[in-house]
Amino acid sequence: MEIITEYGSSLLIVACVLGFFTAWGIGSNDVANAMGTSVGAKALTLTGAILVACVFEFAGAYLAGGEVTETIRKGIIDPSLLASTPHYLVYGMMSSLLAAGIWLLVASIFGWPVSTTHAIVGAIVGFSAVCIGVESVSWGKVGSIASSWVVSPVLAGVISFGIFKSVQSLILDWPDQFQRAKKFIPGYIFIVGFVICMVTLLKGLKHLGIELSTPESVGIAIAFGAILAGIGRFLLSYVKETGADARQGKLSDLERVFAILMVFTACAMAFAHGSNDVANAVGPLAAVVNIIQSGGQVMAQSALPGWVLLVGASGIVLGLVMLGYRVIETVGRNITELTPSRGFAANLAAATTVVVASGASLPVSTTHTLVGAVLGVGLARGIGAIDVRVVGKIILSWIVTLPAGASLSILFFYTFKGIFG
C-alpha cells in the first residue's frame, strides 16, 4: 500500500504511456487484419484504407471496446490473491503492456502479422505464473481464451466458405452476373449493418450508460441495416455495365459492384477489430487505474473510465497512420489472390466472428480470425489457390509470439520491481 501511496501518480503516468504505446503497436500491426483484404482486392487504395480504418477503428474501440476490456482487466488473474501486494499487479500489468508493445513494434517493422491477443495474454500469464505464483492465474479463463484461438479461425473459415458459396450460387454461376449482383448485394450490406449494430447495442454501450432490451436492439439494428442497404443500392445505381463481350470484361464489371460492397465490409471489420483488440492495450491500463484510484484496493469495483478507452483508440489510429502500411501489404497480397468478391466474403466472416466474440467478452485473435476467413475463401476455390508457405510463416510467427510476450514481461516485471521496490 505504501508504494501505491508514494508512487501512485508516477505509476499512473507510466501506465498511460505504456498503454498508448501498446495501442500504437496494435494500430501498426493488427489493423492490417481489417484493411489488408480491401487493399489486396484493390477495392480501396492504401490511403483510402487508412482513412476508413482511422474512423471505424476509433469508433469500435471507444463505443464497443468496454466488454472485452473487462476480461483482460481482471479475468486472467485472480486479483484476490494479490490483495496484500497490489503493487505487484501494477508492475505486472505495466510489464505486459511494455512487452506487447515492443514485440508489436519489432513485428511491424518486419511486416509480420502477429497476434496482439497472444502477446498480451501470454505476457500476463508469464509474469503471473513466474513472479507471483501459478495459483494466481485463472486457468479456466485462460483455457477458454486459448480455445478461441482455434475456434475463431475455424468458425471464420466456415462462415466465409458459406458466404462465398452463397455468392457463387446467387450471382457467379449465372449468365447475368452483373444484374444479379446489383439485386442481391444490398441484402449482404443489410447483414453487415445488422451484425455490427446488434452486437454494439447489446454489449458495447454499457460503459456509456446506455442499456437497451433485446427487442429494442433488434429493431434498431434492422433499421440501421435497412438504411445501409438503401445507401448501398443508391451507390450501386451509379455502377454501369461496360457491355464487354469477353469474360474478363464481365468479371471486371462484376468486381466493380463487389468493390462497393467491400467498402462496407472494410468499415465493419475495422469497427469489429477496434471493439475487440483495444482491450489488449487498455485492459491492463484500466487495472492499474483502478488500483491506484482506490488507494491499493485490488478488489475495488469501479466503472471503466471513458478516457482510458480514448487513450487506446487514439494510439491505434496513430500507429496505423505511422507504420500500418507494412503489414497491410503483407496480409493483403500474399496469402491468396483476392478479388472484391472473395475479399468481401473473408471480411464479412471475420467481422461477424470478431463482433460476436466481443459480445461474449472473449478476446479472440483478429489475426487468426482473418487468416481463417481468407483460407475459407481459398478452399472454396480449391487448395491450390492458397500459398501454403506464407500461411506456414504466419502460423510460426503466432507460435513465437506467446513465449516472446511472456519472457519480455518477466524481464520488465523485475525491472519495475527494482525501480519502485
* Residue 3 near residue 295, CB atoms below 8 Å: no
CA-based R_g, the chain, Å: 22
Answer whether residue 380 shows pLDDT above 90: no
CA 172 to chain centre: 30
Answer whether residue 74 shows pLDDT above 60: no
pLDDT score recorded for residue 70 = 63
Average pLDDT for 250-270 = 78
Higher-scoring residue by pLDDT: 180, 79: 180
Answer whether residue 271 shows pLDDT above 70: yes
pLDDT score recorded for residue 224 = 92
Higher-scoring residue by pLDDT: 94, 337: 94
Closest among 97, 135, 103 to 21, alpha carbons compared: 97
Per-domain residue ranges of the chain: 2-420
Q: How far apart are CA 408 and CA 27, in angstroms?
A: 20
Answer whether residue 419 shows pLDDT above 50: yes
Which range has the worst mean pLDDT, 38-47, 276-285, 356-365, 409-418? 356-365
Answer whether residue 212 shows pLDDT above 80: no
C-alpha dihedral over 280, 320, 289, 149, to 10 degrees? 0
Q: How far apart are CA 403 and CA 139, in angstroms?
A: 17
Phi and psi for 336 in degrees, rounded to 5? Answer: -155, 160
pLDDT by residue (tens digit) across 282-306?
A: 888 888 888 888 776 765 555 667 7
Q: How far apart are CA 345 and CA 213, in angstroms?
A: 30
Helical segments of 200-305, H only: 214-236, 247-293
Phi and psi for 137 in degrees, rounded to 5? Answer: -90, 130
Q: Assign residue 111 a region: left if phi > 0, alpha if psi is -120 to 50, beta otherwise?
A: left
pLDDT score recorded for residue 246 = 44
pLDDT by residue (tens digit) across 157-183?
A: 888 888 888 988 999 888 888 889 889
CA 302 to chain centre: 25
Amino acid at 290: N
DSSP 8-state assignment for residue 201 = I
Cell of 331: 496480409
Which pTM does this prediction carry?
Answer: 0.77
In percent, the amount of the chain with pLDDT more than 70 equals 85
Closest among 412, 418, 375, 413 to 394, alpha carbons compared: 375
Q: How far apart are CA 82 and CA 86, in angstroms?
A: 6
10 Å Cβ neighbour count for 275? 32
* Residue 26 near residue 278, CB atoms below 8 Å: yes
pLDDT by residue (tens digit) across 80-118?
A: 777 777 788 888 889 999 999 999 998 888 777 787 878
Higher-scoring residue by pLDDT: 34, 323: 323
Which range has the worst mean pLDDT, 67-76, 145-154, 172-181, 224-233? 67-76
Higher-scoring residue by pLDDT: 128, 367: 128
Cell of 367: 489475426
